[in-house]
DNA sequence: AATGAATGAGGTTTCATTCAT
DNA sequence: TATGAATGAAACCTCATTCAT
């Protein structure tokens, strides 16, 4: 069947290849990607897949972890030494970055967030992007930059706004208009009380 | 058991029975309900199902339509003859009603909104709840009650907020606190400019 | 693929067809028969198999039950009305019948008794042939025809003898010589004490 | 963990290590031990296994041979110089030793005797324990200690009794009662004719 | 002699949909 | 209109064995 010879790789490399192949496919085709497809794309055998991921969900979890980690690294709050952070701006940057990240994910986003997978494998507290947002809200409140709302709930609801903005862009909405709408909600909601 | 029980029903009645059986099951069990289960619950035969719904997705579509219709009827804006409508209050009522409706849907909501189905069968413009919200925004803007934002986008993003509020409640969040957080976002976002 | 049309049968009939196809194959080929083979032999589709037997083991269990039932019916102790039963003869007949039955089973016997299946699905007390033997021993003891040994253990060990006799025959041993050897063990072991 | 630990061993030693690891595992877990498990337990690599055993069955065969050899060495008939051997007692000792050996084998016994392996790789005439038994029967007959039955068949059937006794013990039966039942069968069957 | 990553045939099971009755 | 037995294309996962290093 296979004209190709056996490719022996360093496990870490092989693992990456599989993950990357899967990411490519999931981005393009969303939820109907099967193990079969992935190994084809990764030029690996069926069994090789299960050597690295006991289960399909384990692969998805790995991908999710990877993406979140990459995002966090790229957008860590620059705790500018000594400088007063402008929290609204920090938030805005993070929100836009998040929107862009979601869009870059294509169909993968659907799989990771809008599928049974999300329920079967709930994201860990530590990784949940909502917490990221929440901590910024808290910090901002502490600095007096944000209104004293329930940070946890606000984080959750505003994250939904950001998320939906991404979906709107993906659906063809104009980028600037969408970001404008998003920003208004973020700003107005968090604006401190006495104006 | 009963050898040849052939329940001949008025097509419309049979159709309703199937839909209702499916709703019951989907509410309870979410996405892992199969055709098999539905016909069992509806006391119909497998083939009968396909007499009424060429496809599983067609059933879901019917259910979605039904629910939206019911919601719209129950919460139509009482265009109180002549009376000046208080738009913020109208919006608030609708939002809360929507939250409650989502919660009442249980697992059905997951199936209709967070599954492949939603992508395979996008909701029709006419039915999309977002449009409902958007028209209220427009009307309110017209009456000077809401700020002049992009109604379509605001409708979309605020709908996401309402939707997420429902999910938060379903996840066990305290009702009053959650509604409070939601209301703040709606009000602040739509408050007319010069205050 | 299939030139054949769909064969709709009475479930009981179809069930029998599958069981019989499986029996035929298992007799011939012993343990390496797969669901695939069975449905081919039974002219059914893969799915049809699982309609009747949720699991391969369930099929085996059904076959085992069937065989035991058939054997019991064919060889029930003729409780000759009023007549004194000659227990040694009763036992002998049963033993020979059992040997013949095992041989008639061919490879099927191996599957049902010498495979993981036997451990995964232990035979129910009610069906276990050993109990059949044990009750005869008890009855015979009661009638003074057999020695007062531990009937349960004797039943077990003598059953092993009968079983092994069958295996010996299957391995090509001469029938009469083998039965002779078996009979000697049965008789000598059960002969009442004072001779 | 250790990057490149290459344990170069004397081939004979390595072979023993693998065999012993397998024995340990098979005793404990019976038929569901995989090559994987064995090499893990033996601290060897997958490939190393196949350096010593072309096939899984070859390993089992090696183990079987080893066990039989060990048993034979431990229980060789002490042809007591000149002394008249008491054959019934010799037989009894061997039988009990065999029962104990089977029990000591745990799950390994299942694998070697009640699995496809036994059919795929029939035991060699030379090793078959039945022959051991048969020769004792012959010798005993020669000495006039046993009845003149077909030794080969008696050996086979009585071996089944011994084997089943072991299984009964393994299944929790009381040791003394079981041995008693076994002994009765052996003695009665082999008792010389004219009493 | 030793390693362990890679292979892929093989087996089980599910379920939306079809169709003979 | 109604039935429910039948279908078969997936999809998942395992593990003895191979082979590049």
**Model pLDDT for residues C1-25, shown as the tens digit of each residue:** 344 678 999 999 999 999 999 999 9
Q: Kindly report the average pLDDT of chain C as a whole number.
A: 92
For residue D25, what is the domain's CATH number? 1.10.10.60
In a domain, C59, yes or no: no
Name the neighbours of B, counting chains with at least 3 Cβ pairs within 8 A: A
Strand F close to A46 by CB, under 7 A: yes
Residue C81: CA count within 13 A, CB half-sphere: 0
Q: How many whole angstroms separate alpha carbon D162 and alpha carbon D177?
A: 13
Pair (A29, A82) in one structural domain: no
Pair (A29, A74) in one structural domain: no
Pair (D38, D128) in one structural domain: no
pLDDT in tens, C52-62: 999 999 999 99
Pair (A82, A109) in one structural domain: yes
Reported pTM: 0.90
User: Is C177 touching D (CB cutoff 8 A)?
Assistant: yes
Chain B residue numbers with beta carbons less than 8 Å from the beta carbon of A165 are 157
Chain C span 14-53 residues with beta carbon within 7 Å of strand E:
32, 34-36, 46-47, 49-51
Pair (A81, A161) in one structural domain: yes
Pair (C95, C166) in one structural domain: yes
Pair (A93, A113) in one structural domain: yes
pLDDT at C76: 84
In a domain, A61, yes or no: no
Strand F close to D117 by CB, under 7 A: no
Name the neighbours of C, counting chains with at least 3 Cβ pairs within 8 A: D
Q: What does the block give as tokens for A103?
A: 């869009």
A193 burial level (CB within 10 Å; 0-12, 13-18, 19+)? exposed
Q: Which domain holds residue C161?
A: 64-190
* Model confidence at D169: pLDDT above 60: yes
For residue C84, what is the domain's CATH number? 1.10.357.10
* Model confidence at D82: pLDDT above 60: no
* Model confidence at A4: pLDDT above 70: no
Pair (C171, C108) in one structural domain: yes
Average pLDDT of span A14-38: 94
Pair (B70, B166) in one structural domain: yes
* Model confidence at B131: pLDDT above 90: yes
Pair (C80, C176) in one structural domain: yes
> For helices C151-170 and C129-142, what crossing angle results, to 10°?
130
DSSP calls for B88-143: HHHHHHHHHHHHHHHHHHTHHHHHHHSSHHHHHSPPPTTT-HHHHHHHHHHHHHHT
Pair (C49, C73) in one structural domain: no
In a domain, D153, yes or no: yes
Chain D residue numbers with beta carbons less than 8 Å from the beta carbon of C116 are 31, 115
Q: Which one of B54, B73, B93 terminates a domain?
A: B54
Query: Which one, of D133, D123, D194, lies nearest residue D162 by Cα?
Result: D133
Pair (D73, D43) in one structural domain: no
Within 7 A of a protein CB, which nucleotides of strand E?
1-21
pLDDT at A138: 95
Please identify among residues 54-83 of chain A the ones whose CB lies closer than 8 Å to any CB of chain B.
none
Q: Kindly report the average pLDDT of chain B as a whole number.
A: 91
C-alpha distances (whole Å) from A129 to each of A65, A91, A139, A160, D89 are: 11, 13, 16, 11, 80
Number of domains in chain A: 2
pLDDT in tens, A49-99: 999 999 999 999 999 999 999 999 999 876 655 566 789 999 999 999 999
Q: What does the block give as tokens for D31?
A: 């038929």
């Amino acid at each position: 069947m296979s004209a190709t010879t056996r490719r022996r790789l360093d496990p870490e490399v092989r693992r990456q290849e599989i993950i990357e192949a899967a990411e490519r496919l999931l981005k393009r085709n969303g939820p109907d990607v099967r193990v079969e497809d992935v190994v084809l794309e990764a030029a690996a055998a069926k069994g090789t897949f299960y050597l690295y991921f006991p289960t399909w969900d384990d692969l998805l979890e790995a991908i999710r972890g990877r993406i979140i980690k990459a995002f966090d690294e790229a957008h860590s709050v620059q705790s500018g030494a000594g400088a007063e952070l402008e929290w609204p701006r920090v938030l805005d940057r993070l929100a836009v970055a998040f929107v862009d990240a979601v869009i870059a994910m294509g169909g993968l986003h659907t799989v990771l967030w809008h599928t049974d997978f999300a329920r079967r494998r709930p994201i860990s507290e530590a990784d949940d992007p909502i917490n990221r947002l929440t901590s910024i809200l808290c910090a901002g409140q502490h600095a007096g930059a944000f209104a004293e709302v329930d940070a946890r709930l606000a984080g959750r609801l505003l994250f939904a706004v950001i998320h939906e903005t991404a979906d709107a862009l993906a659906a063809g909405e104009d980028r600037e208009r969408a970001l404008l709408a998003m920003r208004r909600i973020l700003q107005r909601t968090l604006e401190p009380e006495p104006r």
